[in-house]
């Protein structure tokens, strides 16, 4: 029987209040002012943010909802009207994730859109508005993959993260060094304020202690960068998944991990080496009811459907068949033969078995999925993995402890899972030499028979 979690009841109540806010009539503007100001990521603000605002406005019963360009590039106004003809509008300014936190500090935005996690320095500067790293403030709204893109005629189909670091730092400067026809490599990158650049820097350049080459052309607009690469036979760039457009995405490998193309299924599980989370950050000490309602709508099934519709990867739980392979541990091969893997992974920080903010929302999504598909806990298996350790037995133990931590949280939701596996450092999806790679490898997968 399903029972609501005891220790997380306050969180369920908070989500219920947010949902009620989204469905209730929200306050209308006083004078010529927006009901909500959103600032930050171009990746989110170009399409996804306006689409979610439009969906919320239509849910609120507003009429003739449209996305209108503002006078400044990468800024839009989403506008509708009440039945009485009163205009209601939301500002969406998309100049980079960093600009959102700066605007919040100066009281110029109500909600931050970010394509990277808030930095510790930003959190500390904004503590007066509440802890932005808390579960209530930090809301993962979608999953994205930073795609490596080439001209469509480039014959290369894969690169690893070491090669990418060497290319984008300028150490590799001719295509023949990578096995492609000779020609100078032209680099295209997002600007310094972009969360996409921060993600690429953290996952590719920083682990190799390499800077971005000064020869790289920088772009604020995702679309403009993608189109530039698609029109340059010598070009290579990186971009959010929905902005690939006419360019050619390639597979990426990290360390001993398998080379994976930026496909939705491997981005959803965050196994793709350059996968990332997209966030809304809500200032708890200065709540805007429209911001709270937008977060609730973004997390709802309707909001996640919009996430997928505009080209990002939703957090909706789905089943995926995995084919057994010889390199898999025996227990994992049995899972692959007898069960399907779900598109939800639980990950952990260094030396910790504590779930992160996204994981708590995913727990509820998993419970809802199992109930909707009539799957009892006896049909669920949890497979824990870890990063490589000097002592393989310790790695196996830690991987099982993390799987048991997920089992414990599911038990608080009334689901008693008995089939738990600790598979240690097997099947890495990323390089264990860096923190980001180790975090990806420390995961618990969910399988259902």
Q: Do 283 and 135 reside in the same domain of the chain?
A: yes
Give residue 81's pLDDT.
96
In a domain, 46, yes or no: yes
225-237 average pLDDT score: 98
pLDDT tier, 386 (very low <50, low <70, confident <90, very high otherwise): confident
Q: Do 76 and 136 reside in the same domain of the chain?
A: yes
In a domain, 2, yes or no: no
Q: Do 329 and 295 reside in the same domain of the chain?
A: no
Which residues span the domain enclosing 351? 317-448
In a domain, 386, yes or no: yes
409-432 average pLDDT score: 87
Q: Do 286 and 372 reside in the same domain of the chain?
A: no
In a domain, 273, yes or no: no
Mean of the per-residue pLDDT values of the chain: 90
Please give the structure tokens belonging to residue 368: 């809802």
Give residue 398's pLDDT.
86
Q: How far apart are CA 317 and CA 67, in angstroms?
A: 30
Q: Do 235 and 251 reside in the same domain of the chain?
A: yes
In a domain, 1, yes or no: no
Which one of 254, 288, 309 terminates a domain? 309
Contacts with 48 (C-beta within 8 Å, 6 or more apart), sequence order = 141, 142, 242, 278, 306, 307, 310, 312
In a domain, 350, yes or no: yes
Q: Do 206 and 222 reside in the same domain of the chain?
A: yes
| Of residues 284 and 398, more confidently modeled | 284
296-314 average pLDDT score: 96
CA-based nearest residue to 169, from 130, 135, 200, 123: 200
Q: Do 124 and 180 reside in the same domain of the chain?
A: no
> Is residue 145 within 8 Å of residue 276, measured between CB atoms?
yes
Give pLDDT tens digits for 77-121: 999 999 999 999 999 999 999 999 999 999 999 999 999 999 999
Whether the pLDDT of residue 9 is over 70: the answer is: no
Give pLDDT tens digits for 176-196: 999 999 999 999 999 999 999
pLDDT tier, 441 (very low <50, low <70, confident <90, very high otherwise): confident
Q: Report the number of distinct structural domains present in the chain.
A: 3
Q: What is the CA radius of gyration of the chain?
A: 22
Q: Do 294 and 329 reside in the same domain of the chain?
A: no
Q: How far apart are CA 91 and CA 29, in angstroms?
A: 13
CB atoms within 10 A of CB 384: 28
> Is residue 7 within 8 Å of residue 44, measured between CB atoms?
no
CATH number assigned to the domain comprising residue 83: 3.40.190.10
pLDDT tier, 18 (very low <50, low <70, confident <90, very high otherwise): very low
In a domain, 186, yes or no: yes
Which one of 207, 242, 268 terminates a domain? 268
Q: How far apart are CA 321 and CA 371, in angstroms?
A: 20
Q: Do 158 and 200 reside in the same domain of the chain?
A: yes
Give residue 350's pLDDT.
60
> Is residue 348 within 8 Å of residue 442, measured between CB atoms?
yes
C-alpha dihedral sign at 381, 385, 391, 397 = negative
Q: Do 14 and 135 reside in the same domain of the chain?
A: yes
CATH number assigned to the domain comprising residue 362: 3.30.1330.60
Whether the pLDDT of residue 10 is over 70: the answer is: no
Whether the pLDDT of residue 7 is over 80: the answer is: no
Give residue 439's pLDDT.
66
Q: Do 227 and 350 reside in the same domain of the chain?
A: no
In a domain, 3, yes or no: no
Q: Do 101 and 218 reside in the same domain of the chain?
A: no
CB atoms within 10 A of CB 193: 18
Give pLDDT tens digits for 122-133: 999 999 999 999
Give pLDDT tens digits for 135-180: 999 999 999 999 999 999 999 999 999 999 999 999 999 999 999 9
């Amino acid at each position: 029987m399903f029972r609501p979690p005891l220790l997380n009841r306050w969180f369920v109540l908070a989500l219920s209040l947010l949902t009620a806010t989204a469905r209730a009539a929200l306050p209308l503007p006083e004078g010529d002012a927006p009901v909500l100001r959103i600032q930050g990521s171009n990746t989110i603000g170009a399409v996804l943010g306006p689409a979610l605002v439009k969906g919320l406005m239509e849910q609120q019963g507003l009429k003739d909802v449209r996305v209108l360009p503002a006078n400044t590039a990468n800024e839009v106004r989403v506008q509708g009207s009440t039945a009485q003809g009163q205009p209601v509008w939301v500002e969406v300014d998309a100049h980079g994730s960093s600009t959102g936190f700066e605007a919040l500090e100066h009281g110029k935005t109500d909600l931050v859109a970010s394509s990277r996690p808030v930095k510790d320095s930003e959190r500390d500067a904004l503590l007066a508005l509440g802890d932005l790293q808390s579960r209530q403030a930090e809301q993962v709204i979608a999953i994205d993959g930073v795609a490596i893109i080439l001209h469509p005629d480039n014959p290369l189909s894969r690169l690893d993260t070491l090669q990418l670091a060497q290319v984008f730092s300028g150490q590799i400067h001719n295509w023949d060094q990578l096995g492609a026809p000779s020609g100078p490599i032209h680099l295209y990158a997002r600007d310094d304020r972009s969360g996409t650049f921060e993600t690429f820097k953290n996952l590719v350049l920083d682990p190799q202690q390499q800077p971005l080459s000064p020869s790289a052309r920088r772009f604020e607009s995702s679309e403009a960068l993608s189109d530039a690469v698609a029109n340059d036979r010598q070009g290579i760039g990186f971009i959010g998944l929905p902005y690939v457009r006419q360019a050619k995405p390639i597979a990426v490998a990290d360390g001993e991990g398998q080379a994976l193309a930026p496909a939705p299924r491997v981005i959803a599980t965050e196994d793709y080496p350059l996968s990332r989370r997209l966030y809304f950050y809500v200032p708890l000490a200065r709540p805007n009811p429209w911001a709270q309602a937008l977060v609730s709508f973004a997390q709802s099934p309707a909001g996640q459907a919009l996430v997928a519709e505009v080209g990002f990867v939703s957090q909706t739980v789905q089943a995926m068949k995995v084919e057994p392979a010889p390199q898999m541990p025996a227990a994992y091969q049995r899972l692959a033969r007898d069960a399907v893997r779900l598109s939800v992974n639980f990950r952990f920080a260094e030396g910790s078995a504590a779930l992160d903010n996204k994981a708590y929302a995913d727990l509820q999504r998993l419970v809802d999925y199992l109930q909707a598909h009539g799957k009892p806990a006896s049909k669920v298996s949890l497979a824990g993995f870890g990063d490589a350790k000097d002592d393989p037995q310790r790695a196996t133990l830690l991987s099982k402890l993390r799987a048991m931590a997920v089992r414990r949280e599911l038990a608080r939701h009334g689901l008693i899972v008995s089939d738990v596996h600790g598979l240690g450092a097997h099947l890495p999806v990323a390089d264990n030499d860096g923190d980001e790679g180790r975090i990806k490898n420390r995961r618990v997968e969910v399988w259902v028979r």
